[in-house]
Amino acid sequence: MDISGATIVLKWNEWLLDFLGLWPLNLNNAKFSFFFIYIIIQCFLQYAALVDNIFDLSYVVANLTETVVFCMIVLKLVIYRINMKRLHELIRIIKEDYSHELYKTAKERMIFMKYNSLSRMIVQCFSILCVCAAVLFYIQPLICYLLAYRDSTGNSSSAFVLPYHIRLFFNLTEARTYYIIYACEILIIPMSACGYVGPSCLLITLVLHICGQLSILATQVECMTYDPKTIQQQLKQIVIKHSHLISLCATLNSTYSIFLLQEVIGITVLLCLGSYNITVNHVLEETGEFLTFSCYVFTVFVQLLGFCYMGECLVNESINLCDAFYNYEWYNASAVHRKLLLMCLIRSQRPLVLTAGKFFTFSLENFTSVTRNLLINFSPVLFFNQLALQTFLFAGYENINGLFVGTSKIHIKQS
């Protein structure tokens, strides 16, 4: 099996990160400074708008739905930039494994390509989903403005609604100015695709590469001979490679620990905010915003699933390696080799894991726990929110362009 196409996944990562000047093998400080200042200004304008409308609950939720994403991008860029040297070394190490000569059997090459293809598929799916969500967020207000401007009823009045909730320090009264500001906001789309997804995609590529190497190592353990002349050298190579993978995983955990902690917290908040927006827009029958926030929540949900799935793969391959040592016919080896095999078995009983802040372990079990807790805690909010909205609308209010406008007076007689 040919593995020459395996480097495509690294090319995808390079395209995503090089756009921001953050590819560890080709750092560009000028590009990074431009985009970092751009996203900082965007966050400042959004927080200014949040402070101005702090008592408007619907505006606060809509603002935070966007602001939390941009804050996560800023934190990702900062953490990623700080750990640039470590990431450079990690990429250099895994690139050495992309050599056909390292894999002696067809089974080893098949395992390598299996995890490489899985990594490429996840990176591509993440990138496409994030771009779709960012594009929907960006074009929806403009489409609403153009439709209102060309209304067949002859009413050409329409509000200048920008794609993101930012604070402008001047009155927006001209369409030309509106289009210019709207065009300046278009950089948010590649910023979301590259700044939000890029660092995560590189992490996924590195972790799944380690999973593949662990699986190949387990295959080599199963294929060990019992000849005293050759088993010594085979065991030596296996121990060296296992120690190398343990060190690689430890470096990866120390590099991405804080990064993954803010990911877990941020994704949890985004799922709550996105689900709330879906519920509100479903009740108010705002189809465009409903679809936008549905894509938003699905993208965040898939990202959390991807992190937990790769953590599950890492644990499973560590367990498979331990099973390979356990199932080896050690009783056919000499006493010295039996002791070496026992030491390898003891070490492999501690599986390699991916953690966030060194306390949350990524696995499918924890994924179901997080999802279940979100549903349990959010269900009462959904129920009372829908009940309140229905009561509010029934009491004589109509939803016009996202605003509640009274259509009748309510008189309450107190007894």
For residue 21, is it left (φ>0), alpha (ψ between -120 and 50) or beta? left
- Does a structural domain hold residue 413? no
What is the rounded distance in angstroms from the CA atom of residue 95 to the CA atom of residue 75?
A: 27
Q: Name the pLDDT band for 99 (thresholds 50, 70, 90).
A: confident
What's the mean pLDDT in 265-288?
A: 76
Percent of the chain with pLDDT over 70: 84
Pairing relationship of beta strands 397-400 and 360-361 according to DSSP bridges? unpaired
3-class DSSP assignment, residue 96 = coil
Domain coverage including residue 67: 4-390
Number of alpha helices (DSSP H) and beta strands (DSSP E) in the chain: 12, 4
Residues forming beta bridges with residue 356, ordered by sequence position: 360
| Inter-residue contact 117 to 26 (CB < 8 Å) | no
At residue 294, the pLDDT reads 84
Per-residue H/E/C for 282-350: HHCCCHHHHHHHHHHHHHHHHHHHHHHHHHHHHHHHHHHHHHHHHHCCHHHCCHHHHHHHHHHHHHHCC
Q: Among 316-330, 353-367, 374-388, which stretch is predicted with the lowest mean pLDDT?
A: 374-388
What's the mean pLDDT in 189-208?
A: 90
- Does a structural domain hold residue 402? no
Residue 388 has pLDDT above 70, yes or no: no
- Does a structural domain hold residue 13? yes
Q: Among 36-40, 67-71, 324-328, which stretch is predicted with the lowest mean pLDDT?
A: 324-328
At residue 379, the pLDDT reads 58
Higher local confidence (pLDDT), 205 or 171: 205
Residue 411 has pLDDT above 60, yes or no: no
At residue 281, the pLDDT reads 62
3-class DSSP assignment, residue 356 = strand
Whole-model pTM: value is 0.84
- Does a structural domain hold residue 35? yes
What is the rounded distance in angstroms from the CA atom of residue 66 to the CA atom of residue 270?
A: 9
At residue 100, the pLDDT reads 83
Highest-confidence segment of 24-38, 152-166, 273-287: 24-38
Residue 406 has pLDDT above 50, yes or no: no
Q: Identify the residue whose tokens are 């300046």.
A: 184
Residue 155 has pLDDT above 60, yes or no: no
pLDDT tens digit sequence for 307-359: 999 999 999 999 999 998 888 877 777 777 788 888 888 888 888 999 988 88
At residue 7, the pLDDT reads 86
Domain count across the chain: 1
pLDDT tens digit sequence for 222-233: 888 777 778 888
What's the mean pLDDT in 380-389?
A: 52
- Does a structural domain hold residue 407? no
- Does a structural domain hold residue 406? no
Higher local confidence (pLDDT), 286 or 197: 197
Residue 72 has pLDDT above 90, yes or no: yes
- Does a structural domain hold residue 259? yes
Residues forming beta bridges with residue 398, ordered by sequence position: 405
Residue 269 has pLDDT above 80, yes or no: yes
Structural tokens at position 196? 């939000």
Higher local confidence (pLDDT), 148 or 264: 264
Cβ neighbours of residue 2 closer than 8 Å, sequence gap 6 or more? 100
- Does a structural domain hold residue 244? yes
Residue 409 has pLDDT above 50, yes or no: no
In order of 91, 163, 164, 181, the CA distances from 184 in angstroms are 34, 11, 11, 5
